[in-house]
Amino acid sequence: MATRSVALVSFLLAAVLVALGLTAAWSIATVNRSTETTAEATAALEAIAHLQRAVAGEAFAEAGYRRAPSAEARKRVETAITEVDRAVREASEVGNADDRIMLSYLQSVNDRYVAEVRRSLDDTDTGAPRNDRVAGPALDAIQELIDAAVRDHQRQVAVTRQQQRELLFQLAMVVISVLASSVATLVLCWSLLISHNRRLAAQAAEHERRSLHDALTGLANRDLLFRTIEKAFRAPNAAFSLLYIDLDHFKNINDTHGHPAGDRFLVEVARRVHASVRTTDLVARIGGDEFAVLSSTAADARQLACRIVAAVQSPIALDGTEVIPSLSVGIAVAPDDGRDCSALLHAADRALYLAKHAGRGRITGLRR
């Protein structure tokens, strides 16, 4: 179970990292494509707008020359023509396929216009009659083409920017959704880890409890008793008592009624002993039919023993037969009977031996 939980958490965390990585990569690629598209549309619009200004400058330079012919005015016309050629080339480099088709046609129309302008200017230089405007329809056609291209690219830029805003909004929603899912997954993983740790802690606590308690009666076992005695001795001015309790003639109960009945008998005796002591006292089962009570005080050890014997001596029904338990109790008091765990245990065992040797069913201490 623990392995499956760890594997599930690892899988979910890996899935979150992969989702975040893929989302980041997709987001970067999408934004880059959108930015490139917007930049291309803007560059094409700027190039066409520049061409529009160049053509207008070409017409303006020609008109200026016709109003006041001079070498300087003629030079301005040639410069304007060169600027139009350069603007056409630049627009072709950044424009799309439709732009290049339009620009190719515009270039041919402009070439005819320029040829007619130069011929007219040559006539003007030689004193031939002047026209106010040369190749008017061709120039109008050029300007109409450029105006239409500018309007088209303005629409494209507006549409591209609107699409980019919508894309960024959708992208934000996707990122928020992925982040929300990631947070939810991380919370789930955290919950699973906490649950797993709590389960391990509970298992460890249960294992600790079982290792320190008797499986049949649920009382403390020898290990817990010894640990508690050692802890009690570490307290300043330690003074407490230890009672060793033995069930008299318990073997006869097992032989007569069987071991299952004997176990029930032990459980009931353990319950009665535990119910007759204080909450600060520790009751332990240290052997088959032997119990121990570690009392937090030394003054009333004999009264405690009497109370335990009285509580246990009520009849216990076993397979339709009532059996009256009999107890022998040995009392050892710290620090008088022992100044460490081993010495106190030996003293309590010695007192119990004296109680049983005196005829069983007795309470005996080493000190009268």
State how far the Cα of 336 lies from the Cα of 367, in Å rounded to an integer: 9
Instruction: Tell me which residue has tokens 């072709």.
Output: 92
Which residue, among 270, 282, 365, has the nearest Cα to 316 in the 3D structure? Answer: 270
The type of residue at 90 is E
Does 255 qualify as catalytic in the annotation?
A: no
The 3-state DSSP class for residue 332 equals: strand
State how far the Cα of 304 lies from the Cα of 295, in Å rounded to an integer: 9
Q: In what order do the strands lie in the sheet with 290-295?
A: 282-285, 290-295, 240-247, 327-334, 363-365
State how far the Cα of 283 lies from the Cα of 219, in Å rounded to an integer: 6
Distances (CA, A) of 132 to 68, 120, 122, 305: 12, 10, 14, 137
Asked whether 240 and 298 are in contact (CB, 8 A), the reply is yes
Of 122, 289, 300, 349, the active-site residue reads 289
End-to-end CA distance of the chain: 59
Main-chain dihedrals φ then ψ at residue 361, nearest 5 degrees: 65, 30
Query: With the CA atoms of 164, 166, 169 and 174 taken in that order, what torsion angle do they form, in degrees rounded to the nearest 10?
Result: -100
- Convert 192-216 to b/e letters by CB count within 10 Å (16 or more is b): eeeebeeeeeeeeeeeeeeebbbee
Q: Which residues are tagged catalytic?
A: 289
